[in-house]
Structure 1
């Protein structure tokens, strides 16, 4: 890895679909709940490219430590928990793009029932989607754990998941992620807010019959010390990449 303040831009353009009904007619009840956006089958495999930047405190400043990785996720088995619920066990591998050697990264679990889709990783359980897909859907994606839980990032404890509010930005629309076009794409926003000391952005894209095709996570924190000697007034209008003192950026997209 080498330190660099690199700006990544995820391209995600969505066309608009209008749902029209004729005057005097009643729209038919929705029968497709959206389960195909979170498909589960042993043997399924997803290959991604991932750009990551981790902010590492250094003497005299912050190092923006960047890397590009190939990431492979494969569903390898199933299991049932103590309540009899069926989970799919996946394995995640990664490697630097200039390397040929894959390394094991983590095990994860996926599950879907009639109302929700779940992912477990790093001892945290997330509600990734809710069914049926609706424009007015909001949900607590962290109901299974304390969102104030601190996660260590580059040696610093950060409360990544405070004040998230999951919702559908759009669903079942045609769209393009990087250089791949999908006929039916659903976008989930986990967070998009900032205040004086924190910035959180979390977006995921799911394609029908494919699953996760895009993920973007931006977490910044500051105490306005390095940039402004604690002067929050001077710190307020600075770009986050100038005033951030901890956090990370992840952008991940499907390549095949």
Structure 2
């Protein structure tokens, strides 16, 4: 808890200092988390949910649009993100949820369903570790950077100088499997999200490592731009 308070104080001090001292923000890595009203990203999403009754897989498109900006209760600039979904590109978008995002010269924060997560820590450097839950009441979850990523082509677009954030890599054991990561491109933001959380059957199991509950999620950037 003491660590989280120190982290929060550092976030506030950095936010106040942003307007006073000019910095090379690209060198710090802030351009990996771009925030501009009117910008958007569209992802192809594949989601599988597991239960004892069976598994269901759905595919859809998700659009994240920076709809507006405003000052929050701490007088820091935050951006309003509308998240909309549709089954395919022949349908209209339907608003699913509203998140917020903000960044300072030391962290980038995305608030998902009223829970803030520290998505990036600045400056970006390989193997640097931080607590992704430093600003919420959840248990500590250490994130870390893998900056030694190969160039990646998605839907005929080449992305270079990628940074991968490993959020959870507990791997596989008799209880289950856990892995979460997000990959970011400069001046674009997140281009790939991978998440797999599964709990294995522990009693009267039909097969080894039978999945009783869990969720797989894969998001791949399809398009981005500004409206």
TM-score over 0.5 for the alignment? yes
- Aligned-partner Cα distance in 1 for 2:92–2:51: 26
Residue pairs, 1:56-75, within 5 angstroms = 56-58=51-53, 63-75=54-66
Unmatched segments (≥5 aa) in structure 1: 1-29, 149-162, 229-233
Pair 1:98–1:31, CA change in 2 (3 A)? closer
Aligned to 2:151: 175
Contact 1:69 1:94 in 2 (8 A): yes
**Structure 1 segments (4+ residues) deviating >6 Å:** none
**Cα RMSD between the aligned structures?**
2.2
Contact 1:177 1:214 in 2 (8 A): no
Contact 1:47 1:255 in 2 (8 A): yes
Could you list the per-position Cα deviations for residues 109-141 of structure 1 after superposition, in whole angstroms to 9, with x for gaps in the alignment? 111101000100112110000000111310100
- TM-score, scaled relative to structure 1: 0.71
Could you list the per-position Cα deviations for residues 76-126 of structure 1 after superposition, in whole angstroms to 9, with x for gaps in the alignment? 111222111111001000011275132211001111101000100112110
More helix by share: 2
Q: 1:245 aligns with which of 201, 212, 225?
A: 212
- TM-score, scaled relative to structure 2: 0.80
Residue pairs, 1:104-253, within 5 angstroms = 104-147=95-138, 164-170=141-147, 173-179=149-155, 180-193=157-170, 194-225=172-203, 227-228=205-206, 235=208, 238=209, 243-253=210-220
Give the SS at the match of 2:151.
Answer: strand
Structure 2 residue 43 is matched with structure 1 residue 48: yes
Aligned to 1:90: 81
